[in-house]
Amino acid sequence: MAPSHVLKCCQRVLAWVPVVFIALVVAWSYYAYVVELCACEFVYLVVFHLSFVIFVWSYWKTIFTSPASPSDEFCLSKSDKEQYEREERPESQQDILRRAAKDLPIYTTTASRAIRYCDRCQLIKPDRCHHCSACDLCILKMDHHCPWVNNCVGFSNYKFFLLFLLYSLLYCLFVAATVLQYFIKFWTNDLPDSHAKFHVLFLFFVAAMFFISILSLFSYHCWLVSKNRSTIEAFRAPTFRNGPDKNGFSLGCSKNLKEVFGDEKKYWFLPVFTSLGDGCNFPTRLVIMDPEQLTVSSQNEPAKRYLVSAIYLVFLCFYLYLISSFIWRIK
């Protein structure tokens, strides 16, 4: 067996480590909550199982929904491909790509105004499509490659990813809130020593830690959805014929939500695919921004990011204070 093949096998196995870690934490939280904490609390158990099922369902869909790739119409014909490979001058190669792309629904280009082409997949990239080095595929409306789901988050599973964040947030909040009374009893030395003591206390800290971590990520993605941007587009604005424009795909908050969640609101909070479009063609709002507007916009973006970071830092400091106090109480 070739060393490179062994290395790839090891990489595939290691890529599942974060997913297995999350699965083990979730399984342990189920045991700690259901068996050790509230075996007799019927209402808690009903709400817990509802949140647990919808959370696991969303997580499963995010992991096992295959990322969508461009259709065959974006691939070069055999003659164009041969001609493209023979040409050595970039200008001549771009002429071939322009002819091939003239009937395709493409509005974005590279920063140098060239046709976006993937040499690895040998296809013209649709708008918002990017090549993922981890998946070795061009992914439609790629947002990012997430190690916690061992999958690319893009057009086919972005809704599932958002619901996964939402329901994991609610799951952690519910667990932390219902365990809080036992944590207070421990704090006031009213909690009797038992086998469940460790699980109850550790469950509160794990739930609080994940809640704080996920809150910032979920808030950021809610903001991205309201602006109809991907994570990649938030850091590098797509280039249209009129130049770079971060809001080029924004249609207004209401329509932006429907782009991801669909027209029928009754399906918005279910992990079933309802996103609009085919992932290759997106409605655009081509706006020519004057230099003054562009400057103001670019100045406001860092300020918003700093504000979110400051809020997250406050939550983190409060959590560290709780942990240090907890350790001091044990001593």
Active-site hit among 129, 138, 146, 280 = 146
pLDDT: which is higher, 309 or 265: 265
> Is residue 113 in some structural domain?
yes
Percent of the chain with pLDDT over 90: 45
Q: Is there a single domain that holds both residue 178 and residue 230?
A: yes
pTM of the model: 0.81
Q: Where are the alpha helices (DSSP H) in the chain?
A: 3-15, 17-30, 42-64, 78-86, 90-101, 158-187, 196-227, 231-235, 253-261, 291-330
What mean pLDDT value characterizes the chain?
A: 83
**Span 211-249, pLDDT tens digits:** 999 999 999 999 999 999 999 999 999 999 888 988 999
> Is residue 175 in some structural domain?
yes
> Is residue 295 in some structural domain?
no
Q: What is the mean pLDDT of residues 13-42?
A: 80
- The residue type of 224 is L
Q: Is there a single domain that holds both residue 269 and residue 174?
A: yes
Residue 291 has pLDDT above 50, yes or no: no
> Is residue 274 in some structural domain?
yes
> Is residue 59 in some structural domain?
yes
Q: Is there a single domain that holds both residue 83 and residue 191?
A: no
What domain count does the chain have?
2
> Is residue 142 in some structural domain?
no
For residue 112, what are the domain limits? 72-125
Q: Give residue 289's pLDDT.
A: 43
Q: Is there a single domain that holds both residue 160 and residue 241?
A: yes
pLDDT: which is higher, 312 or 150: 150
Confidence of residue 305 (pLDDT cuts 50, 70, 90): low
Q: Is there a single domain that holds both residue 35 and residue 80?
A: no
Q: Is there a single domain that holds both residue 109 and residue 192?
A: no
HSE at residue 294, side-chain half, CA atoms within 13 A, is: 12
Q: Is there a single domain that holds both residue 164 and residue 282?
A: yes
- Is residue 38 among the annotated active site residues? no
Q: Is there a single domain that holds both residue 52 and residue 177?
A: yes
Q: Is there a single domain that holds both residue 260 and residue 191?
A: yes
> Is residue 34 in some structural domain?
yes
> Is residue 308 in some structural domain?
no
Q: Is there a single domain that holds both residue 121 and residue 86?
A: yes
**Span 105-126, pLDDT tens digits:** 999 999 888 999 999 999 999 9
